[in-house]
Amino acid sequence: MAKTIAINAGSSSLKWTLYEMPAEETIASGIVERIGLDNSIFTIKYGEGKKYEDVLDINNHEIAVELLLEKLDDLGVLTDINEIEGVGHRVVAGGEIFSESSLITDEVIEQIESLNDLAPLHNPANVTGIRAFKKVLPNITSVAVFDTSFHQTMPAVNYLYSLPYEYYEDFDARKYGAHGTSHQFVAERAAEILDKPFEDLKIITCHLGNGASITAVENGKSIDTSMGFTPLAGVTMGTRTGDIDASLIPYLMNRLELTDVQDMIDIFNNQSGLKGISGVSSDMRDLEAAEAEGNERAEIALRIFEDRVRNYVAQYMVKMEGADAIVFTAGIGENAPETRQNIINNFKFLGIELDEEKNNVRGKERIISTDDSKVKVILIPTDEELVIARDVEYFKNLAN
> Helix 261-270 to helix 248-256 angle, to the nearest 10 degrees?
100
Subset of 220-239 contacting ligand ADP (CB under 6 A): 238
The single residue of 54, 73, 117, 147 carrying the catalytic annotation is 147
Subset of 352-391 contacting ligand ADP (CB under 6 A): 362
CA-closest candidate to residue 322, choices 350, 293, 345, 354: 350
Asked if residue 99 binds ligand ADP (CB under 6 A), the reply is no
Subset of 255-274 contacting ligand ADP (CB under 6 A): none
Among 86, 94, 209, 234, binds ligand ADP (CB under 6 A): 209
Q: How many CA atoms lie within 13 A of 257 on its CB side?
A: 0
Asked if residue 330 binds ligand ADP (CB under 6 A), the reply is yes
Among 93, 331, 343, 393, binds ligand ADP (CB under 6 A): 331
What is the total count of residues that contact ligand ADP (CB under 6 A)?
Answer: 13
CB of 382 to ligand ADP, least distance (A): 8
148 SS3 class:
coil
| Residue 147 is a catalytic residue | yes
Nearer to ligand ADP, 210 or 370 (CB): 210
Among 172, 283, 355, 365, binds ligand ADP (CB under 6 A): 283
Q: Which window, 133-141, 162-170, 243-251, 332-340, contacts ligand ADP (CB under 6 A)?
A: 332-340
The CA-based angle 100-94-391, given to 5 degrees, is 35
Q: Which window, 110-118, 213-221, 280-288, 352-360, contacts ligand ADP (CB under 6 A)?
A: 280-288
Nearer to ligand ADP, 373 or 382 (CB): 382
CB of 362 to ligand ADP, least distance (A): 6
Q: How many angstroms separate the CA atoms of 295 and 287, rounded?
A: 9
Nearer to ligand ADP, 152 or 335 (CB): 335
Among 332, 354, 389, 392, binds ligand ADP (CB under 6 A): 332
206 SS3 class:
strand
Nearer to ligand ADP, 206 or 367 (CB): 206
Q: Which window, 15-23, 120-128, 329-337, 389-397, contacts ligand ADP (CB under 6 A)?
A: 329-337
20 SS3 class:
strand
* CA 234 and chain centroid, separation: 14
Q: How many angstroms separate the CA atoms of 328 and 376, rounded?
A: 11
In this structure, are residues 365 and 380 in contact, taking their beta carbons and an 8 Å threshold?
yes
Q: How many angstroms separate the CA atoms of 323 and 347, rounded?
A: 12
The residue type at 373: S
CB of 363 to ligand ADP, least distance (A): 8
Nearer to ligand ADP, 180 or 211 (CB): 211
Asked if residue 242 binds ligand ADP (CB under 6 A), the reply is no
Stretch 284-303: interaction string toward ligand ADP, x if CB under 6 A = xx------------------
User: What phi and psi values does residue 71 have, to the nearest 5 degrees?
Assistant: -65, -40
Q: How far is CA 268 from CA 122, 243, 277, 312, 355, in A?
A: 17, 10, 12, 20, 36
Listed in sequence order, the residues at least 6 apart from 259 whose beta carbon sits closer than 8 Å to its beta carbon are 253
Nearer to ligand ADP, 86 or 331 (CB): 331
Q: What is the DSSP string of 23-49?
A: TTEEEEEEEEESTTSSSEEEEEEETTT
Point out the residues that are catalytic: 147
- Binding residues for ligand ADP, rule: CB under 6 A, are 209-211, 238, 283-285, 330-332, 335-336, 362
